[in-house]
Structure 1
Amino acid sequence: MLTRNTFLAGAAALVALSVVAPAGAQAPIKIGELNSYKVFPAFLEPYKKGFELAVEEVNAAGGVLGRKIEVVSRDDNGNPGDAVRVAEELLSREGASFLVGTFPSNVGLAVADFAKQRKVLFIAAEPLTDKIVWDQGNAYTFRLRTSTYMQTAMLIPDAVKLNKKRWAIVYPNYEYGQSATAAFKKLLSAKQPGVEFVTEQATPLGKIDAGAVVQALADAKPDAIFSSLFGPDLAKFVREGQQRGVFKGVEVFNLLAGEPEYLDPLKEETPDGWYVTGYPWSELKTPEHTKFLDAYQAKYKDYPRLGSVVGYATIMSAVAIIKKAGSLDQDKLIAAASGITVLTPFGMVEYRPIDHQSTMGAYVGKLGVKDGKGYMKEWRFVDGKDVLPSDAEIKEMRPAK
């Protein structure tokens, strides 16, 4: 039986509810993010801080389409199967409007294929494999980070100048390392006919037998080495190689060793003179980077890593696409993403219509040691648009729509 007290209590509850959630209030736009946090913490902990800073800035400025944004984040365990399951959960259970993220290339490729099947936008933040925009590219996948081909192409001019004939290659034996190796061999051979690759050492990711690898290099007696190792594998390789003197008199190129995530742990063991791509964060003075650096340090009392830049730029890309689309309709999002320009801490980038690859650049230089710490010296910025294949080559590689 409905009594007067019951009625009044119910009315009061409705009033209270209306105060908390006023009529017309809109729920936040959910962006589904997945990454290999437990497997690659050195890069992805700063990455998460970067995207959280971007979310905070966007929401403080009023959000997008009159709504706040919310990133719903999940760990994919660095496993393609788990990543596809997590991606499905983000869309179906969490109500995410689209997907962003991933780190290892094999996981990125799996989620890209899932996005194609589900016909949903996917901004691949970090996977570096060239396949994700070329051989296996699809209409729904856009990649932010400078690819293995692009970063390798940035190092080729220095390699050609040295005119070394006998090269050894060391790489982690999964999609990223394989892709980097293929790009290096192709690009160097085209610029320097007659170059020889005297040994290739493919190491299990995270499980390098540094002693055996370094011994194989010593036996091959190369003039120069190209490596795409990173993280703990890189540290073990550096330590073992220096102890055995394998790097003396040998020019070494390493694809990612200038990134703070991988450079900082080397400290005084940082090998002097290696050619690398990386991120000399303390020396960049552009307005866009200074703004990002000041905000990041104010929030976290720490300096950014490259992951921080990637996380930040990923969310800013997502927001720019939503704003341009004026909708969360997938077809409108895809149309908006194609050719969009986004301001990042590294400057303006474009997601190219021809292959959905962003023109994000990278810094190229050499490693050095100062005050017991590794740093990048003699660095220069290379714009991503200047190290991409021709449109004709891309059309040959990328599947027809």
Structure 2
Amino acid sequence: MKNKTSRMRAVLTTTTAAAMAATFSFGAAQAQDSESVKVGFVTFLSGGAAGPFGVPARNAAELMIESINSGSVPGQYSTPGFAGAMIDPLFVDENSKQKNADFQRLVQKDEVDMVVGYISSGSCKAIAPEAEKLEMLTILFDCGTPQIFEEIVTDPEYTFRTGGHATMDNVAAARYLQQTGTSIDSIAGINQNYAWGQDSWRDFSASIVQLDPASEVATEQFPKIYAGQYGSEISALLTNTPDVIHSSFWGGDMEAFIIQGQGRGVFERSSVVLTTGETAMHRLGAQMPDGTIIGARGPHGDLAPDSELNTWFRAAYFDRFGTLPTYPSYKMAQALLGVKAAADKAGSVERDAVIDALTGLEWEGPSGMVSMALANGHQAIQDTAYGTYKYDRENGKATLVDIIRFDAECVNPPAGVNSIDWINGGFEGASCD
């Protein structure tokens, strides 16, 4: 790592369309003549994924960088910096057709010490092998496909993912339906036609079969990512009238489906499960149909447990940005606190020391405990939760009711077992209280 005088760039944080398309810079004065660690952050700063995903994640990074550098995070994180080193950030837009080239530039030209980023599973599939090739410590804070460590980088050294993968989301969704007594005699899916959508539907439909072998798939729809218009897919869903519709749509695709589907009665005829729905519930408010089953890719946002750290994070985020943090914000905070916990444990920000400390680490985030239990200590698991949406019209507030929490060991495969093999094997070894 490097000793240098640095000054973080000024940031204009806004959710307007113009700001989402702009180049983001970051600012807050750093301590003079102190050791610093240069971190490349990659998230959507423009395009349809920026508003619901990239900007909230970037906002959380801004908040956490300033709070970590100043030592103002409560509890065990109250010492400044990563092992005393000040975080010096450089932000890159994930909405790029040259993701590998952007990553290489961060490593070779900008000389970052680590990279934290990536929302899209397609991005992570491209970047994980590149991180291993360039021997760059890379923290995947969000992307969900289980393929990353089960198929693409099966023996990771430099790549970590600090949030659970999609298997957790979809096993928990299936268990939620079962435990709430929702009919699952027939199911349907509308998911984006790439790794994230395909893996999500695979794991959900396979989980339903394990819980109810008589269940049938009425239809499965795989529109192109960012399609935006879903008239023919909605017609197929209405024609087949399944008991349950599953969707892992995220960002603008999810919000478009909600609005278009509600207008045609989809949410009235079927129970709809949105595995990433938490990001839209406060944005859409009354436009989100009551009774929609909502996930947050972990126990994040309105599904997060009560704790001193969660209370601080929600209040600090709201005070700064005027809105509550959603799960992309939680997952960014979780990643940065994981790196801080590892660096503090190692007493160093040297790459190999952080890698050794982060491998197999357990730490507390605003969403509760996180354990790097899979992929030889490089893939996180954690508890998760689902709830049912209900809009409080008297107070104009989006809420979740009938929340059910699932232990990490109930909805994640054991170490050394691929996700789909675990599901098809009847969830062998699952511990569900």
Q: What's the TM-score once normalised by structure 2's chain length?
A: 0.79
Residue in structure 1 matching 2:372, options 338, 348, 351: 351
**Does the CA contact (< 8 Å) of 1:251 and 1:274 recur in 2?**
yes
Q: Cα distance, 1:188 vs. partner? A: 1.4
Q: Percent identity?
A: 24
Corresponding residue for 1:127?
A: 143
Residues in 2 aligned to 1:232 and 1:348: alpha-carbon distance in whole angstroms: 30
Indicate whether 1:210 and 2:234 are aligned.
Answer: no
Residue matched to 2:346 = 325
Determine the structure 2 residue equivalent to 1:34: 42
CA contact (8 A) 1:146 1:362 kept: no
Runs of 4+ in 1 over 6 A off after TM superposition: 395-398
* Cα distance in 2, alignment partners of residues 332 and 340 from structure 1: 13
Flag the structure with higher helix content.
1
SS of the equivalent of 2:311 reads: helix
In structure 2, do the counterparts of structure 1 residues 356 and 53 end up closer, same or farther at CA, with 3 Å as the change threshold? same
Counterpart position of 2:282: 264
SS in 2 for 1:133: helix
Deviation at 1:123, TM superposition (A): 0.7
Q: Which SS does the other structure have where 2:60 is aligned? A: helix
Equivalent residue number for residue 75 of structure 2: none
Counterpart of 2:65? Answer: 55
Matches within 5 A, 1:163-202: 163-202=183-222
Partner of 2:95: 77
Range with greater deviation from structure 2 (201-210 or 97-106) = 201-210
- Partner residue, 1:107: 123
Asked if the contact 2:373/2:415 (under 8 Å) is kept, the reply is no
Residues 352-367 of structure 1 mapped to structure 2, 5 A cutoff? 352=373, 354=376, 356-367=378-389
The separation in 2 between residues aligned to 1:135 and 1:256, in whole angstroms, is 24
Q: Look up the match of 1:293.
A: 314
Whole-Å separation in 2 of the counterparts to 1:395 and 1:172: 20
Q: 1:70 to 1:129 in 2, by over 3 A?
A: same
Q: Is the 8 A contact 1:34 1:83 kept in 2?
A: no
Residues 76-106 of structure 1: CA distance to partner in whole angstroms, max 9, x if unpaired? 3254xx2211111112222211111111001
Q: Which amino acid aligns with 2:220?
A: E
Distance 1:325 1:395 in 2: 32
Cα displacement string for residues 16-45 of structure 1 (whole angstroms, at most 9, x for unaligned residues): x9xxxxxx9444111121122213212121
Residues 185 and 283 of structure 1: CA distance in aligned 2, closer, same or farther (over 3 Å) = closer
Deviation per residue, 1:301-350 (Å, 9 max, x gap): 43222222122222222222222333444333322111112221012212
The answer to whether the aligner puts 1:393 opposite 2:417 as a matched pair is yes
Shift of the 242–122 alpha-carbon distance from structure 1 to 2, 3 Å rule, reads same
The superposition leaves residues 140-160 of structure 1 with CA deviations (integer Å, 9 ceiling, x where unpaired) of: 221122321101111111333
Q: Which of the residues 88, 91, 100 maps onto 2:104?
A: 88
> Structure 1 residues 196-205 or 344-353, which shifts more?
344-353
Larger Rg: 1
* Contact persistence 2:83–2:340 (CA under 8 A): no
Conserved in 1, the CA contact under 8 Å of 2:39 and 2:112? yes
Task: Say which SS state the counterpart of residue 247 (structure 1) adopts.
Answer: helix
Measure the CA separation in 1 of the matches of 2:416 and 2:141: 26
Find the counterpart in structure 2 of residue 12 from structure 1: none
Letter matched to residue 307 of structure 2:
T
* CA deviation after TM superposition for structure 1 residue 220, in Å: 1.8
- Aligned residue in 2 for 1:5: none
Distance 2:410 2:209 in 1: 19
Q: 2:192–2:223: 8 Å Cα contact kept in structure 1?
A: yes
Shift of 1:396: 10
Structure 1 residue runs without a partner (length 5+): 1-16, 18-23
When residues 301 and 165 of structure 1 are mapped into structure 2, their CA distance, relative to the original with a 3 A threshold, is closer
Structure-2 change in CA distance of 1:280 and 1:318 (3 Å): closer
Q: Residue 369 of structure 1 aligns with which residue?
A: 391
Looking at structure 1, the residues matched to 344 and 276 of structure 2 have their Cα atoms a distance apart, in angstroms, of 33
State how far apart, in whole Å, the 1-side matches of 2:229 and 2:289 are: 19
* Structure-1 separation of matches of 2:280 and 2:236: 24
CA contact (8 A) 1:64 1:319 kept: yes
Paired amino acid for 2:37: I
| AA matched with 1:130 | P
Instruction: Check 1:145–1:379 CA distance in 2 against 1; reply closer, same or farther (3 A cut).
Output: same
Letter in 2 for 1:106: G
Paired residue for 1:276?
Answer: 294
Q: Is the 8 A contact 1:144 1:358 kept in 2?
A: yes
Q: Match of 1:129, SS?
A: coil
CA RMSD of aligned residues (A): 2.5
CA contact (8 A) 1:144 1:314 kept: yes
Distance 1:109 1:397 in 2: 21
Are positions 1:309 and 2:330 aligned together? yes
Matched residue SS, 2:112:
coil
